[in-house]
Amino acid sequence: MLVEGKSYRTIEASSDLTRVTIIDQTALPFKFELIDLKSLEDVIQAIKIMQVRGAPLIGVTSAFGIALAMNNDSSDQSLLDAAFSLKESRPTAVNLAWAVNKMLEHLKPYDTNDRAKIAWLYANELAEDDIKTNIDIGRAGLPLLKQIKSSPLNILTHCNAGWLATIDNGTALSPIYQAFEEGIDIHVWVDETRPRNQGMSLTAWELTQAKIPHTIISDNTGGLLMQQNKVDCVIVGADRISIDGQVCNKIGTYLKALAAKAHNIPFYVAAPLSTIDNSFIGEKKSFEIECRHPDELLRIKGMNNDGTVSEVKIGMSTAYNPAFDLTPAEYITKIICEKGSYNPESIGTLL
């Protein structure tokens, strides 16, 4: 997508295959900064501290992490060790394990002399696939937006499931970008998404770059707006989807789904098929809902009047900071994926 008129992706391999360049998402919206990751350790650190984040992006970044590891040591043991430590870096988004497993399966049969080269080729292929998939998600979601006849069309989104959460185009924001390109009068309500503020810092920044009208709201405002008929639909992304259509996404998603159901407002989830976890059904779930450091809640970063950025403490008690929640299928109108839009309960049949 364009930043100040120039086209960027969230991650790109260098032509000599020795590093990847990422957009440091912890610096946004105050500073647009590119940084180089030169080793597996750099990649793991960037995922942990969320310089890269968003389910599809951490998946592809991990694939490049394996490529970087192969540059150093392409043995079976090194491959397995890299896969293990990448999977440990963030636990909830299934796309991370999905991409690591794809790399493992693809690389295992190759001779160790060829592995590094093949790893870069395949990681690049996963990145290209992500871009195409997201365009298809946009195409699948567009008719759902077009069938709502309000002008402007008021869409509420939570967290960031835009191009910054993917390689390009985004998932939840992909139909929004396509609708805007078609000239549909759109306005996006952007949940700030405490505690890390991905809505305020990332989604609002993306929409500003794309010149799409939007308004930041506190996470508690959506209910009031729904009561006032100011929300026509909700679209969010997903970090993991069960084969019976339960959606794990950024903390606060569930509350928006409850409110949307109460007001008969369509609640859409947009995600690639790689977000479906085929071992997750009903109560049977083997993944962890990531609990992040309490300081993410107790401290906040902002820009001072002189343009410098600093962090301050805003709370003094014990804090609890789970990063994701689970929305049952009954609150979801459709899951939009690269193959079309589906009733959540039937999403598993696509695998």
Measured from the CB atom, is 71 or 198 closer to ligand MRU? 198
Q: Which of 40, 82, 86, 93 binds ligand MRU (CB under 6 A)?
A: 93
Does 335 interact with ligand MRU (rule: CB under 6 A)? no
In this structure, are residues 28 and 201 in contact, taking their beta carbons and an 8 Å threshold? yes
Q: What is the token pair recorded at 89?
A: 């870096």
Q: Which stretch binds ligand MRU (CB under 6 A): 60-68, 98-106, 164-172, 178-186?
A: 164-172
Does 249 interact with ligand MRU (rule: CB under 6 A)? yes
13-21, long-range: CB within 8 Å, 24+ apart, which pairs?
13/64, 13/67, 13/120, 13/123, 13/124, 17/67, 17/71, 17/116, 17/117, 17/120, 18/71, 19/68, 20/61, 20/64, 20/68
How far apart, in whole angstroms, are the C-alpha atoms of residue 202 and residue 25?
8
Residue ranges in 73-197 assigned as alpha helix (H): 76-89, 94-107, 112-146, 173-181
Q: Which stretch binds ligand MRU (CB under 6 A): 9-17, 32-40, 53-61, 295-303?
A: 53-61
* Residue tagged active-site, from 239, 244, 277, 295: 239
CB of 74 to ligand MRU, least distance (A): 30
Q: Which of 9, 53, 194, 240 binds ligand MRU (CB under 6 A)?
A: 53
CB of 250 to ligand MRU, least distance (A): 3
CB of 348 to ligand MRU, least distance (A): 19
Residue number, nearest CB to ligand MRU: 237
Q: Which of 11, 13, 22, 55 binds ligand MRU (CB under 6 A)?
A: 55
- Main-chain phi, psi angles of 186, to 5 degrees: -120, 145
Does 165 interact with ligand MRU (rule: CB under 6 A)? yes
How far apart, in whole angstroms, are the C-alpha atoms of residue 102 and residue 100?
5
Q: Which of 156, 323, 329, 336 binds ligand MRU (CB under 6 A)?
A: 323
In this structure, are residues 337 and 137 in contact, taking their beta carbons and an 8 Å threshold? yes
In the chain, the amino acid numbered 23 is I
Q: Which of 46, 63, 159, 200 binds ligand MRU (CB under 6 A)?
A: 159
User: Is 219 labeled as catalytic in the residue annotation?
Assistant: no
Could you say which residues in the range 224-243 bind ligand MRU, by CB under 6 A?
A: 237-239
- Give the number of residues in contact with ligand MRU, rule: CB under 6 A: 17
Q: Which of 9, 10, 56, 180 binds ligand MRU (CB under 6 A)?
A: 56
9-25 burial code (b ≥16 CB/10 A, e <16): bbbbbeeebebbebbbb
Q: Which stretch binds ligand MRU (CB under 6 A): 54-62, 65-73, 225-233, 327-335?
A: 54-62
Q: How many CA atoms lie within 13 A of 51 on its CB side?
A: 20
How far apart, in whole angstroms, are the C-alpha atoms of residue 233 and residue 167?
25
In the chain, the amino acid numbered 219 is D
Does 161 interact with ligand MRU (rule: CB under 6 A)? yes
Does 250 interact with ligand MRU (rule: CB under 6 A)? yes
CB of 6 to ligand MRU, least distance (A): 23
How far apart, in whole angstroms, are the C-alpha atoms of residue 267 and residue 30?
31
**Dihedral, CA atoms, 56, 61, 67, 73, nearest 10 degrees?**
-120
- What is the x/- site pattern for ligand MRU, positions 106-145, by CB under 6 A? ----------------------------------------
Q: Which stretch binds ligand MRU (CB under 6 A): 116-124, 159-167, 302-310, 330-338?
A: 159-167
How far apart, in whole angstroms, are the C-alpha atoms of residue 315 and residue 255?
23
Cβ neighbour number for residue 102 with a 10 Å cutoff: 20
Residues that bind ligand MRU (CB under 6 A): 53-56, 93, 159, 161, 165-166, 171, 198, 237-239, 249-250, 323
Catalytic residues: 239
